[in-house]
Amino acid sequence: MFEEAKWITAGNRMGEISPEFKKKISFEKMPVKAIAHVTAMGVYELRINGSKVGDALMTPGWTSYSNRVQYQSYDITQQLTETTQIGILCGKGWALGNLGFSHLSKVYCDEIAARMQLELTYEDGSIETVVTDPTWEVWTSQILDSELYHGETVDLTTEPLCVGFAAEKTGITASPVLHVGEFVREQERVTAKKLIITPKGEKVIDFGQNLAGYVEIHVKGKRGDKIVLTHAEVLDSEGNFYTENYRTARNRNVYVLSGGEDVFKPRFCFQGYRYIRLDEYPFEEIDLSAFTSVAIYSDMKRIGYFHCGDERINQLYSNTLWGQRSNFIDVPTDCPQRDERLGWTGDAQVFCRTASINYHTERFFQKWLGDMMLEQTEEGAVYGIVPVVGELTARISAAWGDAATVCPWEIYQAYGNKELLRSHYDMMKKWVEYMHRYGDEEYLWMGEPYHYGDWLSMDTTENDVAGKRGGTQLDFVATAFFAYSTELVIKAGRVLGEDVSYFEDMYKKIKKAFRAVFMKDGMSVIYPKCDGIYHKRPIHDVTQTTLTLILRFGLYEEEERQAIVERLVQMIRDNGNRMTTGFVGTPYLLHVLSENGYADVAYDLLLQEKAPSWLFSVIHGATTMWEHWDSLREDGSFWLTEMNSFNHYAYGAVCDWLFGGAAGIHVLDDGAAYTHVSIVPHPDRRLGHLDFSIDTGHGILASAWCYNGNELRYNLTIPEGTVAEVQLPGGKVSSLSAGKYLFVESC
């Protein structure tokens, strides 16, 4: 593909303006088939006779551009006319716009470039191709500037001009590959809820839902009049518009009216927001119906549904769904609003299972893991973000790099695609080998300088950026994950029929080494030889996270288990039924409690309203997950400006416990795609009732329970092709195949 097509650019004549590359073709005979294959360094829209083709946004998507760039194929047979104007309108996108918190730009290319091959088939079977080359014209457009972080400026009074012919661009290393991911499209449309005039006199519109996308505005006004709008996720304690947590991202759209009926929305960027401020607006009256907030995200099929008798938990679930929608825009990102929006591997690793239950994420992750494979170093290292951007983000960390084993395994468990797992298997092994070879201790992963640790945990001193580097020893986390990843390689290898004896042996040795230095008398302990450059930070022998990881990753001996769980419960109780865990410990905490006989404590944490807790943000009006447990504090002040997103999905991983713990459906190691599951529900009267269902691809699998006086009723639906090992709290155990079942226990 694209052999004859050249990369073309505007030859540095455009400044910030979005160029459109144009070519007119005249047909004597109309082709019976016309397929256009298009890509860009930047983002593009294919236009035929001035109209956009298709409804995908932000094409060609974000990949590891130094290795590959996707192209999209469009059937444009129906749109062709005797004389057809083909246009490729481009923006800077990820390849050229500002990217990353180190304020880089032109990370992947120094000028917007486009490439296209049009294949025309005629009735007699002959084929003709039209390709991008220096005979294409370069035109200015009405998009005067467009930046992912900063917003878009559109002037409908300007007339696009031809500035000459395109220049050929050489030296682009990205090979074009056919689109592998999901297309980003417009999804939910949210109406404006209210107009607020803030104490500062700002005109603010509240849409009632934080999301990622853009505001579509329908207006008719005077030619040349201007609308300027800025976005925000929250208002401050006084009720004024608050944008400081966006850091340098301006999130500001500027529109100049044509004088006719205008519809404005950005083409090549999006914002993360709940509110907009009208900095300039040419009308006295603000008609809210002119404004619609449009969510955009990768078009994945929704497959999981949850509802229970506690509205706060339902809101938490909704916040998680919105966190996923906002951050699954082609790449799994940390947040969709500030000058970051990067493919942080740790965040994705933590949230992968929840995400894959909410939506069918197979293609979405296939694409991203494909980039991860391309960027894995020869030694096997996987960076903190994928696609990697600049040196800072090339840091390597435990629980982040482990996305290389966790995500492939979770995707396999969710959808059962063995070939996909096979394609990831080498990456998984190489990552484990990286940890194995690092440093002088073969079976401990020690001394890696940039671990993020139990990121954002609450058990360090206030000055330590409120737990930024956690109270849990970094090398403890690293070695625990080394063991976990090795275990996942073993599981994957068994599924694939590989010889895993080498990794089984390695696992035993890691566990032994871990226990020798990080455990004493059946409890976790600090290993004084550890923790490289951060050795001066306050760390503790025992933290909620150390105990959680020991339990979750099976690093204990059976006789130690009870004492470890009891200590964990005691620590939670001593902290007022609250957790201190960060990114690393939190996703597993409720699981280890319910699996070890303390479902009531898991519910105490789930239903806790005081920070740190999930419901703290819910009762304070959150509509998405917050980055930090108290991003907005009780007294109305904000947590750290520079790390304070209100739309970070990581802690939404708690839903994986709602599905797998409370409803109790868990995919067994030999039961990928829900063919063999366990159903071990953990009911609690405080929720009243709970319903969870998932479309497995071979039918609906559902677990529901309901308290009714002194009766507890369980309704289970098992689809064809699934065997469920059921264990109810009252002791009933059975192996069920397809059917609908009702069990009643007294309580």
Q: Tell whether residue 346 is a contact of ligand BGC (CB under 6 A).
A: yes
Token code pair at residue 491: 């599981």
Alpha-carbon distance 26 to 35, whole Å? 16
Active site residue: 340, 362, 410, 448, which one? 340
Alpha-carbon distance 608 to 576, whole Å? 9
Question: In the bound complex, what is the minimum distance in angstroms from residue 395's beta carbon to ligand BGC?
Answer: 8
Supply the DSSP string of 241-289, one letter for each residue: EE-GGGTT---EEEEE--SSEEEE--SS--EEEEEEEEEE-S-SS--GG
Q: Tell whether residue 340 is a contact of ligand BGC (CB under 6 A).
A: yes
Amino acid at 464: D
Q: Tell whether residue 595 is a contact of ligand BGC (CB under 6 A).
A: no
Instruction: Judge contact between 646 and 627, C-beta under 8 A.
Output: yes
Alpha-carbon distance 348 to 364, whole Å? 12
| Interacting positions 77-116 with ligand BGC (CB under 6 A) | none
Question: In the bound complex, what is the minimum distance in angstroms from residue 584's beta carbon to ligand BGC?
Answer: 11
Alpha-carbon distance 262 to 59, whole Å? 24
Token code pair at residue 422: 């096979």
By rule CB under 6 A, what string of x and - marks binding of each residue 640-659 to ligand BGC?
--------x-----------
- Tell me the residue nearest to ligand BGC as measured from the CB: 334
| Interacting positions 523-562 with ligand BGC (CB under 6 A) | none
Of the two residues 10 and 335, which places its CB atom closer to ligand BGC in the complex? 335
Of the two residues 341 and 578, which places its CB atom closer to ligand BGC in the complex? 341
Question: In the bound complex, what is the minimum distance in angstroms from residue 530's beta carbon to ligand BGC?
Answer: 19
Q: Tell whether residue 452 is a contact of ligand BGC (CB under 6 A).
A: yes
Of the two residues 149 and 452, which places its CB atom closer to ligand BGC in the complex? 452
By rule CB under 6 A, what string of x and - marks binding of each residue 356-395 to ligand BGC?
----------------------------x-----------
Of the two residues 20 and 340, which places its CB atom closer to ligand BGC in the complex? 340
Q: Tell whether residue 674 is a contact of ligand BGC (CB under 6 A).
A: no
Amino acid at 338: R
Positive or negative: CA dihedral 406, 409, 412, 415:
negative
Residue in 395, 269, 408 with CA at minimum distance from that of residue 341: 269
Of the two residues 412 and 534, which places its CB atom closer to ligand BGC in the complex? 534
Residues 6+ positions from 316 with CB-CB distance below 8 Å: 614, 615, 618, 654, 655
Alpha-carbon distance 45 to 19, whole Å? 11
Q: Considering only residues 20, 225, 330, 334, which one is a binding residue for ligand BGC as defined by CB under 6 A?
A: 334
Alpha-carbon distance 398 to 625, whole Å? 23
Q: Considering only residues 62, 136, 214, 455, which one is a binding residue for ligand BGC as defined by CB under 6 A?
A: 455
Question: In the bound complex, what is the minimum distance in angstroms from residue 452's beta carbon to ligand BGC?
Answer: 4
Q: Which stretch binds ligand BGC (CB under 6 A): 216-224, 285-293, 340-348, 584-592?
A: 340-348
Residue in 213, 210, 214, 207 with CA at minimum distance from that of residue 192: 207
**In three state form, how does the secondary structure of 79-119 look?**
HCCCEEEEEEEEECHHHHCCECCCCECCCCCCCCEEEEEEE
Q: Tell whether residue 585 is a contact of ligand BGC (CB under 6 A).
A: no
Active site residue 627: yes
Q: Tell whether residue 347 is a contact of ligand BGC (CB under 6 A).
A: yes
Token code pair at residue 742: 């009702």
Alpha-carbon distance 622 to 196, whole Å? 18
Question: In the bound complex, what is the minimum distance in angstroms from residue 301's beta carbon to ligand BGC?
Answer: 26
Active site residue: 45, 182, 362, 627, which one? 627
Q: Tell whether residue 626 is a contact of ligand BGC (CB under 6 A).
A: no
Total residues at interface with ligand BGC (CB under 6 A)? 10
Alpha-carbon distance 353 to 588, whole Å? 12
Question: In the bound complex, what is the minimum distance in angstroms from residue 340's beta carbon to ligand BGC?
Answer: 5
Q: Tell whether residue 344 is a contact of ligand BGC (CB under 6 A).
A: yes
Task: Find the largest Cα–Cα distance for the chain.
Answer: 86
Q: Which stretch binds ligand BGC (CB under 6 A): 71-79, 169-177, 190-198, 344-352?
A: 344-352
Question: In the bound complex, what is the minimum distance in angstroms from residue 653's beta carbon to ligand BGC?
Answer: 12
Alpha-carbon distance 598 to 565, whole Å? 9
Of the two residues 335 and 602, which places its CB atom closer to ligand BGC in the complex? 335
Question: In the bound complex, what is the minimum distance in angstroms from residue 39's beta carbon to ligand BGC?
Answer: 29
Alpha-carbon distance 163 to 724, whole Å? 67
Of the two residues 153 and 349, which places its CB atom closer to ligand BGC in the complex? 349
DSSP state of 1: -
Token code pair at residue 89: 């309108």
| Residues taking part in catalysis | 340, 627
**Interface with ligand BGC (CB under 6 A):** 334-335, 340, 344, 346-347, 384, 452, 455, 648
